[in-house]
């Protein structure tokens, strides 16, 4: 039986920080299902289909990574894919409060699914999708911060 984790996020767009989290997650889990959330309230820059395509293209050569989109509850997605855990990355202490609330709420919703956190590589602690969007909109260079499928679309 393969040990599966769901790695959820908005991925607007996916960054090398996200890629680092997935790579670390694969040291612990056999299979990672990346759940791209619709999150319309966040008013994403890229539509859901494009965000999903960029994630799929990024991991196209790894058969242990799958990407799906979802609109409902994360715990339901975890069930659907027989996942034992939810994977998230932590960059700095400031991430903790939000992650703690989310993990606690998800545990309230489904006691069986654990939240597991990995710490981002130092080079990516300052990288966020929000900064990537902002910098690229203002003509800045994000080449070293995003995977190729994102670069070509920014
Ligand atoms: O990359 P993000 O924007 O921090 O990811 C947020 C995400 C997708 C993990 C969060 O919005 C989410 O879990 N959405 C699904 C809805 C849900 O299950 N909500 C209850 C858990 S708090």
Q: pLDDT per residue over 116-153, tens digit each?
A: 999 989 999 999 999 999 999 999 999 999 999 999 99
Supply the CATH number for residue 95's domain. 3.40.50.620
Q: For a substitution probing ligand 1, which of 7, 9, 127 has the most ligand atoms within 8 Å of its CB?
A: 9
Range of the domain at 106: 4-151
Q: pLDDT per residue over 24-80, tens digit each?
A: 999 999 999 999 999 988 999 999 999 999 999 999 999 999 999 999 999 999 999
* Pair of tokens at residue 53: 């395509």
The residue nearest atom 8 of ligand 1, judged by CA position, is 9
Q: Is 18 a catalytic residue?
A: yes
For the chain, what is the domain count?
A: 1
Q: Write b or e for each residue in 102-119: b if 16 or more Cβ atoms lie within 10 A of its Cβ, otherwise e.
A: ebeebeeeeeebebbebe
């Amino acid at each position: 039986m393969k040990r599966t984790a769901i790695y959820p996020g908005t991925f607007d767009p996916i960054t090398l920080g996200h890629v680092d989290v997935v790579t670390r997650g694969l040291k612990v889990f056999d299979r990672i299902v990346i759940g791209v959330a619709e999150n319309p309230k966040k008013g994403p820059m890229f539509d859901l289909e494009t965000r999903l395509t960029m994630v799929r293209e990024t991991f196209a050569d790894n058969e242990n990574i799958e990407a799906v989109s979802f609109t409902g509850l994360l715990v339901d997605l975890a069930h659907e894919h027989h996942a034992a855990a939810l994977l998230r990355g932590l960059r700095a202490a400031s991430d903790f409060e939000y992650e703690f609330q989310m993990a606690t709420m998800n545990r309230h919703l489904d006691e069986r699914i654990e939240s597991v956190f990995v710490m981002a590589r130092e080079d990516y602690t300052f990288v966020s999708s929000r900064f990537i969007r902002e910098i690229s909109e203002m003509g800045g260079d994000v080449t070293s911060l995003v995977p190729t499928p994102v670069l070509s679309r920014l």
